Amino acid sequence: MKAIVFDTFGGPEVLHVADVPVPDPGPQQVRIRVHASGVNPVDSTIRSGAMQAIIPTTLPAIPGIDVAGVVDGVGEDVTDVAVGERVAGWADPPAGSYAEYALASQIARIPTELSFADAVTLPTAGETAKRGLDLLGVRAGETVVIHGASGSVGTVAVQLAVARGATVIGTASEDNQDYVRSLGAIPILYGEGLVDRVRALSRQVDAVFDVAGKGALPDSIVLRGGTDRIVTVADPAAGELGVTFSAGTPKDWSTGDLAGLAELAARGDLTTTVAGTYPLERAAEVQRLSQGGHVHGKLVLVP
């Protein structure tokens, strides 16, 4: 099969197309014929080697966590899904999702009304969004600032926070202000003068969720009057500032939550946005786009 492989840690240039054997599913695994592979910022962090302590990667490896497609084969002890069913979930390394076939042990069925590209926007983004809001304890009547509200995680986080009854102020670029508003948030520009812009909208900020990692933590501390109830999933400066950094692991993945999000998206009650679809061969270029930020929704590779 065709796959994107990296044999050494480094920049996007280490990614290359290779012909590799089709993987065989092991116990409690399924093999998925990949129709869509989601590209996440964490893919670049894993490729660089910076995530070895949290997500150990044995080389050579195929990148990619988010996967959507059709079950092509099942391993021993798999009884809850059958060949031919449409699913989405998280690929099991080292057979990642940047390939024609991937292995997975944590998957959820997806409705026929939901495209594979839209389905693949949900696994990592949905888990990350819910984890951050849960850590912050966001609840009805509160005001929460979400940095990076137009990205794949921000898109879901804004909608989940609004569904909890919170008022959401979402930072984004000028081009993405209308999009953030369409999600139910109050959009504002990020960057210099952020504190004044937020305070012009609300004197009280109960929580801050940073999914952008673009240096907004000092302003967030000012808005909160301390480091309490600030969570980042993207800014490595968190430790120096005393802010909570949350890095998800496979233990945080929930197929039940994923199935619920897929149902909401299929009914039109949850917006999913695909920033663009690209062939596997452009994986290095797409990772560069992902690293650069300012992406409106999810970048998707299509074998």
pLDDT in tens, 5-32: 999 999 999 999 999 999 999 999 999 9
Give me the pLDDT at residue 122, please: 97
Q: Beta-carbon neighbour count of residue 230 at 10 Å? A: 25
Give me the pLDDT at residue 41, please: 85
CB contact at 8 A, 149 and 158: yes
Give me the pLDDT at residue 182, please: 96
Strands (E), 54-175: 66-74, 86-91, 101-109, 143-147, 167-172
Task: Name, in order, each residue with C-beta under 8 angstroms of 229's C-beta and a sequence gap of 6 or more.
Answer: 136, 137, 206, 207, 208
Indicate the pairing of strand 230-232 with strand 244-245: parallel
CA 116 and chain centroid, separation: 15
Give me the pLDDT at residue 97, please: 98
Report d(CA 225, CA 222) in Å as an integer.
5
DSSP H or E run through 177: helix 177-182
If you search the block for the tokens 């993987």, which residue do you land on?
Answer: 23
Q: What is the pTM of this model?
A: 0.91
Report d(CA 36, CA 160) in Å as an integer.
24
Q: What is the mean pLDDT of the chain?
A: 94
User: Reduced to 3 states, what is the DSSP secondary structure of residue 77?
Assistant: coil
User: pLDDT for 75-88, tens place per residue?
Assistant: 999 999 999 999 99
DSSP H or E run through 31: strand 30-39
Query: Token digits for 223?
Result: 């808005």
* Closest-CA residue to 238 (of 221, 217, 211): 217
